[in-house]
Amino acid sequence: MITVPETALRFGFDNGPGGPHASRTMMLAELRLLLAACPPAAMYEQYGAAILEQNVLLKRTETTRRESVRRLRELYGLSRSRVVFRALRDLWDEAPAEQPLLALLAALARDPLLRATAAPILAAQPGAPVTAAMLAEAVGQQLPDRLNPTTRASISRHTAATWTQAGHLQGRTAKVRAVAACGPAAAAYALLLGYLCNARGAALFETFWARITDAPMARLHEQAFAASRLGWLEYRHAGDVTDVQFAYLLRAEESADE
């Protein structure tokens, strides 16, 4: 089971036991609408008001609006007091083409059920089939005796849709492995997540989060260098020594938003 260390939970990671993907995808379209409607410095109450009062997600009923608030908060935190969400929000507007991968990385940090389906995705070569049954089996192996077959099937459907939204899968019914689009923003975010999970130096480029980017290691180093030139991190690589720091994404910030 892919878990995150207890020390990372204070940054907004979650180890379960459940997760939103039992009944939802990562809700990429809704997240895009919400973040487009609210300023980067918005607090949780502003996100809630945008959904409930302004109906920026274009939901038909109050019930679905309230459900959307709950699910989006489960998936992303929606609070600048949580580094996982704050860093996502800092990078979101800078790289629209990378938003699917940014959202996936955040959802993986927050939802153990989605993390449970990562193994068959990462193991598949481009063009290879990835079926709902493979995802359901992965969930069953990592969470034995906790989920019945109906729940595993629901999780497999929702996670398959999420991996498709993120660019790791393509196809409507018969899905095959694709390669996600990783640029400097997604690279910076993946490296940050690894850092928050206690990886340092060269090990940052070998973490679960780094593998999710689909970028070969040399390419990931190139993207880290590009991210450093954009001010999102500090990257130094010479010989066998690699150092990555995150002064911008981990800056101190006053927030009463809990």
What are 160-178's pLDDT values in tens digits? Answer: 999 999 999 999 889 999 9
Nearest one of 39, 43, 42, 38 to 56, comparing CA atoms:
38
CB 95 within 8 A of CB 183: yes
Residue 223 pLDDT greater than 50, yes or no: yes
Q: Which of these CATH numbers, 1.10.3540, 3.30.70, 1.10.287, 2.60.40, describes 1-180?
A: 1.10.3540
Confidence of residue 145 (pLDDT cuts 50, 70, 90): confident
Q: What is the CA radius of gyration of the chain?
A: 18
Q: Model confidence at 257, in pLDDT bands (50, 70, 90)? A: very low
In the chain, which segments carry CATH 1.10.3540?
A: 1-180
Nearest 5°: CA angle at 117, between 98 and 198?
70
